[in-house]
Amino acid sequence: MRTLWTKVGVLGSFSMAFGSILWSQKKTKPDHGASSCTSTDTNPNSLYELKLVQVLFRHGARTPLRSIPDVMEAQWLPTLLEPPEHTHINYVVTDLHGGPRPPAPVEDSYRKNVLTGGTFPGQLTTLGMQQLYELGERLRKRYIEDSPFLSSTFSPAEVYVRSTNIVRTIESARCLVAGLFQQKQKEIVPILTTEAESEILYPNYHGCKLLKIACGHLWAESSTLPDIAADLQSIQKALGIAAHQHIDFILIRDDMVAREAHGLPCPPALDTWRDTVEQRAVDMMYHVYQHSKRETLQLCVGPLLHTMITNIDENLQGTSAEPDRKLFLYSVHDTTLIPCLLTMGIFDMKWPPYAGDITLELHQHRQTKEPFVKVSYIGQDQHLPGCSGVYCPLQEFKQALSEYSLTSERYQSLCETSSTEL
């Protein structure tokens, strides 16, 4: 099992990327065609009636997955992980059917190692918890205070919470819900998870054989691209890292930005390399997805996109098993957000920040009853390519994502093959 989940090789860079690579807390500037997200469309006097909200959000700041070898180590003390009192809620983690929480091999792999200072890799910190609480407060302002779309107290009939089966995303979901409802609840908050092999909330290289084959060589190749390889050799020399050490820009960036976010010292030599490290990490990830055919992006997030579209259809058709459901919360990783942004045509070549979110709102025109989807990224409305406006007619939205959305059955069928002919 250790080999399966922590193997360093062609998927070594993915192991770091999967861990939700860290990004500084600079605000992301709006893309072209984006506008500031306001509350006018949740106002009863608006032409549009808000029907459903779905939020994909990245976890908050965390400890690094691995320290840069042969350099000054940071002290990751347990005091950095203490939960703020205002983030506490009464919750339970279950499988998708309400049964016991499934095994968590990814989390188990983290706990086989201890960072200098005594904490485990990949753990949500106090800072990260606060970031998700504040995201919850932003959602509260929009959907409760500015307009009474949601109840002010948590209700599982109204709000669905799902997370990857990793402690940092589970805790991030907890903190967001605490901020959204100000710890007000009459019932226990269920946070649903699933076993690692069938997870669709991140690109599942371990559960989908074909995805591993399709991307394996691209991950290996990304570190050997001429410009990236030259910069990597230079920074390795500047930091005094032994030639035999297996490193790449994703590993360096992970540790570097984790330290910066928590005010811990970085090797001084990194100062002049910071921007290069940031850009090269993005370049590596972009190489994997940009040079892949559309079927690879399908395998990364196709089932998730299909699930979100199905949620929209069931709301409009009145066929949802939970007719009062208004909000779907998905606690995920930056490696979820990046492929989603790519499929929507709005990736800005910047790594998603801690607590970064993609929000899909379903609206219905009050007069014509025509449905529209509005997408925002980190609080900025987005005009998707293929859509006639920020309020995207549902059929245009579906058409824009049609080449990436995958049913569960089609996904399973594709994943089971070992063919390299994507």
Which stretches in the chain have pLDDT values below 70? 1-45, 291-292, 418-422
pLDDT for residue 46: 84
Q: Which residue out of 41, 59, 206, 262 is catalytically annotated?
A: 59
CA distance 382 to 389: 9
pLDDT for residue 31: 39
70 in catalytic set: no
255 in catalytic set: no
- Beta-carbon contacts of 298 under 8 Å, excluding residues fewer than 6 positions away, are 403, 404, 405, 406, 411, 414
Q: Which residue out of 248, 255, 283, 334 is catalytically annotated?
A: 334
Question: Which tens digit of pLDDT belongs to each residue from 185-195?
Answer: 999 999 999 99
DSSP structural state of residue 295? H
pLDDT for residue 14: 55
pLDDT for residue 45: 63
Q: Is 377 helix (H, G, I), strand (E, B) or coil?
A: strand
pLDDT for residue 202: 97
Question: Which tens digit of pLDDT belongs to each residue from 302-313?
Answer: 999 999 999 999
CA distance 213 to 420: 7
On the CB side of 152, how many CA atoms lie within 13 Å of its CA?
A: 4
pLDDT for residue 32: 37
pLDDT for residue 16: 55
Helix 334-344 to helix 394-401 angle (10° resolution) is 110
CA distance 376 to 36: 9
